[in-house]
Amino acid sequence: ILYPQTVATTSISGGASLPNSNGCWDWIGWYGTDFSVKSGKQLAAMKKMIDRITGGFNPIDIPKELQVTAVTDNSVSLSWKQVSSAHGYNVYRNGGKVNGATISGTTFTDSNLNSGSTYTFT
């Protein structure tokens, strides 16, 4: 595991040396008694980087008004209301993704169904 070096130094206790004095990624990130606890310097540094990368991210709304528009013995056609900030959609049947490529529109037909079976779509 690579950890961020939290102190710009080349020496640590015991006479060992760090190969990177610029505070970049290193393999010695585990060094110290609190490296793996929430209050440890390594995890605090990683959280700070993750917060910076993901800061300001607002998840988009989920599509609303999912409707069945047509049914045959082995298929169902679905439609939903467009989400303005969405770049595409995926359809899940019983928890598993059923579309190959991302769907750019607001309709989808699943034609791999068994007559008489019950399915849940999200």
**Do 72 and 122 share a domain, yes or no?**
yes
**Do 37 and 78 share a domain, yes or no?**
no
Last residue of a domain, one of 30, 54, 78: 54
63, 105 contact by CB (below 8 A):
no
pLDDT interval class at 19 (50, 70, 90)? low
What's the pLDDT tens digit per position in 40-83?
666 777 777 788 787 767 778 889 999 999 999 999 999 999 99
The whole domain housing 102 covers 59-122
pTM: 0.55
Residue 91 has pLDDT above 70, yes or no: yes
How many angstroms separate the CA atoms of 69 and 76, rounded? 8
